Structure 1
Amino acid sequence: MIRRVPHASHWGSYTVLVDGDRIIGVEPLPQDPAPSPIIQSVMDWAKPDRRVLRPMVRKGWLAGQREGRGSDGFSAVPWDEALDMVAGEITRVARDHGNASIFAGSYGWTSCGRFHHAPSLLKRLLNLVGGYTGHVDTYSIAAGPVILRHVLGDDAACGGYANSLDSIVDHSETLVVFGALSPRTAQTEAGGLGTHGLEGHLRQIAASGKRVILISPLRDDLPDWMPCEWWPIRPNTDTALLLGIAGEILAAGREDRAFLERCTSGADRWLAYLRGQTDGVAKTADWAAGLCGVPAGHIRDLAAAMTATRTMMTLSWSLQRARHGEQPYWAALGLAALAGQIGLPGGGVGYGYGSLGGMGVHLSTGKSPAISQGAKAIDSFIPVARIADMLLNPGAEFTYSGETRSYPDVRMVYWAGGNPYHHHQDLNRLQAAWARPDTIVVQDPMFTATARRADIVLPATTSLERNDLAGNKRSDLVVAMHKAIEPVGQSRSDFDIFNALAGRLGVAAAFNEGRDEMGWLRHIYAESRAAAAAQGHEMPEFDSFWQRGFAEVPLKHQHTYLAKFRADPAARPLATESGRIVLGSETLDRLALDDCPAVPSWLPPGEWLGEAGPDELHLMSHQPNGRLHSQLETAAASLADKRAGREQARMHPSEATARGIADGQPVRLWNARGACLATATLCDRVAPGVVVLPTGAWFTPQGNSGLEIAGNPNVLTRDIGSSGFGQGCSAHTCLVRIEPWQGKAGDAMAIYDAELAALTA
């Protein structure tokens, strides 16, 4: 008899079809108008391939050796022995070095379940035993929210709470898209998603006849079917274009002086910069065109349109993953203020539309289901992308958001869910840093490149093997995630693993609060239900919800960001240094950072086409079509986007011809940081000067050369902060060379699996 099991993951909500203990199919939620095809790949989680099947300990670590991570073999141990080892290391490091020496960054897209959420459960446990060093922000977005918290008072505008897409559909006349606005990236949502709504809104925009301008090196950053003007910009020069538009508005006397005076601070200082009074360079269309490659006539035309029509600018998260990534977000805010568009329906600026599935689509006003991490025991953190800096430089100072802090001396890394050997930049540098801690524990369902480089590996279940809830502040539903199959191998749920550790550490009662799995799900759901009821929205009681499989949450429609502030800025002040939008910052002026000035500014990023050698290309490493990051890399949807078993390096035909590269040919991409292989795909939808290599290939370096053969772009990217203020990752500031590859390549996935089998034999 086939069982129909409601479930969810980062790609949406669906029903799992189970025959006995075997998954035979996946059906999307009927209410979802645009389900992701990736949901069909979740069946691969049930396969033992690449799963961690039992607790493992590195043989070299047992012999007291730090060296050998990634090349040493593992020994299988019983669960009790593995848990005793982990609890013993937590106790030892906290006692001998202090809790700040335990790094529990655990960043990554682990299960979307809000109860069995590995990083949250890890931090809950460690907060009960004295604390840990954690991280702030994300690899996806860090520079952007840091600058917006300073100049807007919060980061809601890049977290899904700028103007809602239905407001843009109904009120915008001109839509300017910087970076991507694509259903490709909107397939996914942290914590799960009920329905996918971006595509429907884009089709409404396409049918409305609005003027749409795509400013990106990639034409497919908007769907093929969406009419638009494509302006292929040089990567990392969006700030120059934004400043050039602003300079043209100012020179024509079309700025909204009343809005600037009522709603901003420091505007005169920024206007002086635009006029060239501070550096001798007027920010004109001609100046901007020379930097960004967009014709000056286009820039002047858009400057006129932005004050003559209701104009909305969208900036994808990708723009701020670059050196000086704070500047395009701040410059776009300044431009929207200069044009007087902020706080108007369908006008102004918003960040991250399409970067996740719910951004601007579902504005939930309820409480998302979540397990509490508890009170933070110590104040120790790093910016998320500064892991290698921390490990390599204990005690060194770093700056972040106006503060000066020091890196802790990390002796233990506990990574639960996630894969830094996917997310981090300059993976060869990370490998050197990874050798420094005494002990590395990885808890994960999959034997990722990170797990291969651990000392103790704990096998966790996937969401298919336990009960949970899905949902977040950008989802229209809370979804029941029923257990579909029994645990694979000896894997245990994240809650059970941490609860067992809590018992060994003497904090079990505080950790579990007397609740088992279903008791916690009832409790978490009840909190969300009570918050909805306070707004007059009735969610069903738990048993009815659990049987039905989902519950609607309260939503807000036709949202206009900063409308109340615009109407009365004195009565609705922002949480900034002035209570208004900051265009000239007293704080940044005082800090005097070379890489983050006091006004939105153009700063050459260091590695860009304006300073490239004749054979260098700008590398863009974006999200793939068929998976999320490195998850489900060997499943059907991911394999469909590979060629010859490797990632596709897309480039303009003219660049391929100049290098003697044929379509479908193996190629080597390299720079001073590393080298990797890929398969060339010629494409005129990629601007000249650019090569695109998606993220997520499982890190597979070979031999003494370290050549990475699967196509992981993070062997090439820069491990440097966006600035001393934001410290975000700078993955998109990266130049590479590319050439035909004549050597032996081999099947990267087969080689990874053979290496893994040898390590775990």
Structure 2
Amino acid sequence: MTDPTRIAAPAIRRGWLERGPGPDPKRGQEDFVEVGWDKALDLLAAELRRVRAEHGNEAIYGGSYGWASSGRFHHAQSQLHRFLNAFGGFTSSRNTYSNGTSSVLLPHVVGSAADVLRNGSSWPTIVANTELLVAFGGVPEKNVFVTPGGVTRHHTPGFLAQLAERGADVALISPLRNDLPDRLRARWYPIRPATDTALMLALAHTLATENLHDRQFLDRYCTGYPEFERYLLGVDDGMPKDAGWAATLTDIPASDIVDLARRMASHRTFITVTWSLQRIEHGEQPVWAAIALAAMLGQIGLPGGGFGHGYGSMGDTGDIGPDFRVPYLSQGVNPVRQFIPVARIADMLLNPGMAYQYDGAERSYPDIRLVYWSGGNPFHHHQDLNRLRKAFTRPDTVVVHEPFWTATARHADIVLPTTTALEREDFGAGRRDTHLIAMHQVVEPYAQARDDYAILAGLATRLGIGDRFTEGRTPWEWLQHLYGAWRDHLMDKGFAVPSFADFWHAGEYRLPQENPDRTLWADFRADPIANRLATPSGRIEISSKRVASFGYDDCPGHPAWLEPVEWLGGERAASFPLQLIANQPRTRLHGQLDGGAVSQAGKIAGREAVRLHPADAEPRGIADGDLVRIFNDRGACLAGAVLDTNLRRGVAQLPTGAWFDPVGTLCVHGNPNVLTADIPSSRLSQGCTGQHVLVEIERFAGEPPGISVRRPPVISRESEM
């Protein structure tokens, strides 16, 4: 609560304060001046009025993408979007960095993204019925302890333990052995990164050529299989996608591929694909290919069979908690129809007016003059951070609400200090959580920090929309109002829900339990006519005429192998021969609490740890604990080396989330996103590609630059100017 990086008072970048709004290459490099709250809000209100009058509400980008902190009323994005909607609207974003590629693809293939991402088979069903779990990307246990809003009861580790006790077979398909708990009986297939689609196609080819596929299921429940089979057999391109073909791409022996296909056909098999597989170039393909493979097995809708997406990516996937909405603050309606796919922020800022394709439509980027961010950190989750730094110099004004001096706050013009979850009262629950939690205030707000609600209410009053934003309620009155309306709704459905006073005193309310298993796929299997999917055919679209009609060469109308640029078999590997996997950390949630004791304990000399295979470290003269420089043609970062045989040769692993600490194009703290490419997965989804990147690694000699992110930037007070 009193970390040196806490923001103590409203702060304005010196150049913006002295020269006024406008594009500025010094953004992110200048010092800040602390001012009083009244002056900060007056200046910001005036700038909002100016931008709206001169450029329209479309010129305001309400970024606010990120995890923020727990709590439903003080949810930072809801607060900011509610305020901006009351002000006349803003350019918004769609989808996520986590699964934005899948979110666009899945409606075309199975009619709904939510039914796959949120309502798949439960872990109890998998534990009781699955004989063979084929885990593309594994089931990384470190990820299942988090969901947006929090997790009260951590169920997944127990289900994985039950799966191990039952002796289920698991095929782990990942470059990283620790993408699956050791206790599970698993065969590790150390695949070359970014080639999962090639393996899936070869498995499908084996099923087709050995007549192991379920033709009745394909005929009754799917459309487009004949076109896909032509591709598998190489009828049109002369290249059968057989096990021998895939072996050269994946580094998995052809005999192992054939054997795995036969085992999948002879057992109750559940295929799961982590979100990481779609965070790459052509990330649509492994998700689509996995669905096609599961359809060929004919087990979709059977207990313990079929496919899933995100098991091991998030704590609520496969969970058995109730699935209904907890109290929330309405954001209102955004009058501005303009939006961008969330991962295209740098493109938007750098290229106003430029045309681009998205999900079959041609769109163009708006001319953004004011970026307003609350509850997120794009300098954590975006790719090619040196390019993002350049993009952030372009707007007239950047506004950030933050408790801490993150890289995003340091690249802002107006920085407003906010409270953390422990410094205010709220209620919270995660997706499929078991409890609604009364979040009692624990400590007083730090220094001059204020709630987002208080900040935005002050702005709204200055802009003449105070009543519309607050509806005359204090935060405490909002909590009682939102809880009361939610309680009335549940009581109408027959649930016994305590009064707000009783709930607040007890500290929690156990949410009513619902049926832990969704019945979508079982119902579809029972009657695909009455329970048709929301696809054009009403069935699973192994080939999609609609996607094919878009004419995208980077996402054709059926699952296909499309060679990425950033992979070990491509041309770039000659210059950068190591594949860096930038996955989620085990010591923090994304970049949150990077300065905390748990995260700091995992660092080496204060820098993020990169794992290397000893066989890759030895010829580079790198020993365990050495400081190394990881680099490519986009940038470089420093990290501490950890030698580990639990990853395949040619692969290094550096988790995301180290706070960005640039010295020129070098991040001295170990953020991998100085290396990753800011390119879309495809024109279909415009999703991010931050999971893999090609690099070289060398031992760092000499005195390294110091780490600055553990202290605030240079700050002066207005009276000192």
Structure 1 length normalisation: TM-score? Answer: 0.91
SS in 2 for 1:314: strand
| Alignment partners' CA distance in 1, 2:151 and 2:119 | 16
Match of residue 170 from structure 2: 212
Contact 1:217 1:233 in 2 (8 A): yes
Could you tell me how far apart the structure 1 residues matched to 2:14 and 2:630 are? 35
Residues 362 and 496 of structure 1, relative CA distance in 2, 3 Å threshold: farther
Give the AA of the match of 2:445. P
Deviation per residue, 1:270-313 (Å, 9 max, x gap): 11111111321111111111111112122111211222111001
Residue 159 of structure 1: how far off its partner (Å)? 2.6
Q: Does 1:61 align with 2:16?
A: yes
8 Å contact kept, 2:588–2:598? yes
Q: How does 1:40-189 map to 2 (within 5 A)?
A: 46-62=1-17, 63-64=19-20, 66-189=24-147
The aligned amino acid for 2:556 is P
- Aligned mates of 1:582, 1:535 — CA distance in 2: 37
Instruction: Show the 5 A alignment for 1:544-555.
Output: 544-553=502-511, 554-555=513-514
Residue 553 of structure 2, aligned match among 594, 606, 628: 594
Amino acid at match of 2:523: K
1:461 — aligned with what?
419
User: Who is 2:264 aligned against?
Assistant: 306
- Specify the alignment match of 2:657 in structure 1: 696
Q: Aligned partners of 1:528 and 1:268: how far apart in 2?
A: 50
Deviation track 1:348-379 (CA, whole Å, cap 9, x = no partner) reads: 11111121222211342322332111112111
Q: Secondary structure of the equivalent of 2:695?
A: strand
For the residue of structure 1 that corresponds to 2:128, the secondary structure is helix
Q: Aligned partners of 2:518, 2:98: CA distance in 1, in Å?
A: 25
8 Å CA contact 1:156–1:162 kept in 2: the answer is: no
- Cα offsets for 1:528-570 (capped at 9, x unmatched): 4344445543332222221111212233324455111111111
**What is the alpha-carbon distance in structure 2 between the residues aligned to residue 627 and residue 527 of structure 1?**
35
Letter in 1 for 2:516: H
What are the Cα deviations for residues 118-156 of structure 1, in whole angstroms up to 9, with x where unaligned?
A: 111111111112110111111111111211121111112
Q: Secondary structure at the match of 1:562?
A: helix
2:160 is aligned with what amino acid?
Answer: L
Does 2:302 correspond to 1:341? Answer: no
Question: For 1:615-641, what per-residue CA distance to the aligned partner results, in whole angstroms no more than 9, with x for missing partners?
Answer: 511110111111111111111110111
Question: Any conservation in 1 of the 2:401–2:418 contact (CA below 8 Å)?
Answer: yes
Aligned to 1:616: 577
Partner of 1:297: 255
User: What is the CA–CA distance in structure 1 between the aligned matches of 2:528 and 2:70, rounded to whole Å?
Assistant: 39
SS of the counterpart of 1:678?
strand
Quick one: structure 1 residues 125 and 461, their matched pair in 2 at CA, closer, same or farther if it must change by over 3 Å? same
Verify: 1:395 aligned to 2:350, yes or no: no
User: Which residue number in structure 2 is paired with residue 437 of structure 1?
Assistant: 395
CA contact (8 A) 1:367 1:532 kept: no
**Cα distance in 1 for residues equivalent to 2:362 and 2:504:** 48
The aligned runs of 1:190-589 (5 Å cut-off) are: 190-553=148-511, 554-589=513-548
Contact 2:291 2:307 in 1 (8 A): yes
* Rounded Cα–Cα distance in structure 1 between residues aligned with 2:575 and 2:32: 47
Q: Distance in 2 between matches of 1:123 and 1:614?
A: 45
User: 1:715 & 1:341 partners in 2: Cα distance?
Assistant: 43
> Residue 628 of structure 2 aligns with which residue?
667
**Deviating more after overlay: 586-595 vs 355-364:** 355-364
1:647–1:710 contact (8 Å) kept in structure 2: yes
Among residues 610, 635, 651, which one is paired with 1:649 in the alignment? Answer: 610
Structure 2 Cα separation of the partners of residues 522 and 153 of structure 1? 38
- 3-state secondary structure, aligned to 2:713: helix
Report the CA distance between 1:198 and its aligned residue.
0.8
Could you tell me how far 1:758 is from its partner in structure 2? 5.5
| 1:230 alignment partner AA | W
> Shift of residue 509 of structure 1?
1.5
Would the aligned equivalents of 2:33 and 2:715 in 1 still touch at CA under 8 Å? no
Asked if 1:606 is matched to 2:561, the reply is: no
Distance 1:691 1:157, change over 3 A: farther
Amino acid at match of 1:622: N
> Distance between the aligned counterparts of 2:116 and 2:403, measured in 1?
31
- The match for 1:626 among 584, 587, 594 is 587
Contact 1:139 1:729 in 2 (8 A): yes
Task: Give 5+ residue unaligned stretches, structure 1.
Answer: 1-45
SS in 2 for 1:725: coil
Report Cα offsets for 1:172-220 as digits up to 9, x if no partner: 1111111131221112111122111110000000000111111101111
Counterpart CA distance in 2 for 1:759 and 1:200 is 52
CA distance in 1 between counterparts of 2:323 and 2:35 reads 47
Deviates more, 1:505-514 or 1:485-494: 505-514
Following superposition, the deviation at residue 514 of structure 1 comes to 2.5
- Partner Cα distance (1:657, 1:157) in 2: 47
3-state DSSP of counterpart to 1:537: coil
Question: Pick from 712, 722, 736: which aligns with 2:671?
Answer: 712
Superimposed CA distance per residue, residues 240-278 of structure 1 (whole angstroms, 9 cap, x where no aligned partner): 111110110011112111111111121211111111113
Q: Is the 8 A contact 1:312 1:347 kept in 2?
A: yes
Is the partner of 2:484 in helix, strand or coil? Answer: helix
Letter in 1 for 2:609: Q
Contact 1:442 1:450 in 2 (8 A): yes
One-letter amino acid of the counterpart of residue 67, structure 1: P
Question: Distance in 2 between the 1:532 and 1:318 partners?
Answer: 37
Using the alignment, how far apart are the partners of 2:362 and 2:67 within structure 1? Answer: 29
The AA in structure 1 aligned to 2:647 is: V
Report the identity percentage: 49
Task: Using the TM superposition, give the Cα deviation of residue 158 of structure 1 relative to its aligned residue in structure 2, in angstroms.
Answer: 4.4
- CA change 1:103–1:327 in 2 (3 A) is same
Q: Which amino acid aligns with 1:324?
A: H
Q: Which residue matches 1:20?
A: none
Q: Which amino acid aligns with 2:5?
A: R
- The Cα shift of 1:91 comes to 1.5
What is the one-letter code of the residue matched to 1:254?
L
* Deviation (angstroms), 1:438: 0.2
Counterpart of 1:47, as a letter, is T
Q: Is contact 1:327–1:600 with CA below 8 Å preserved after alignment?
A: yes
Specify the code of the residue in structure 2 equivalent to 1:734.
V
TM-fit CA distance, 1:591: 0.8
Paired residues of 2:93 and 2:341 also in contact (CA < 8 A): yes
* Amino acid in structure 2 at the alignment position of 1:110: A
Q: Structure 1 residues 122 and 615 mapped into 2: Cα distance closer, same or farther (>3 Å)?
A: closer
The one-letter code sitting in structure 1 at the alignment partner of 2:422 is: L
1:29 corresponding residue in structure 2: none
Q: 1:399-450 CA distances to partner (integer Å, 9 max, x unpaired)?
A: 2121211100000000111111111100000011110000000011111111
Shift of 1:605: 0.9
Contact 2:130 2:268 in 1 (8 A): yes
The answer to whether the Cα contact below 8 Å between 2:59 and 2:91 also exists between their aligned partners in 1 is yes
Aligned residues: 712
Note the C-alpha offset of 1:527: 4.1
CA distance in 2, matches of 1:693, 1:233: 18
- In structure 2, C-alpha distance between the alignment counterparts of 1:599 and 1:530, rounded to whole Å: 47
Deviations 1:80-135 (A, max 9, x none): 11111112122111111111110011111111111111111111111112110111
Q: State the TM-score, normalizing by the size of structure 2.
A: 0.96
- TM-fit CA distance, 1:314: 1.2
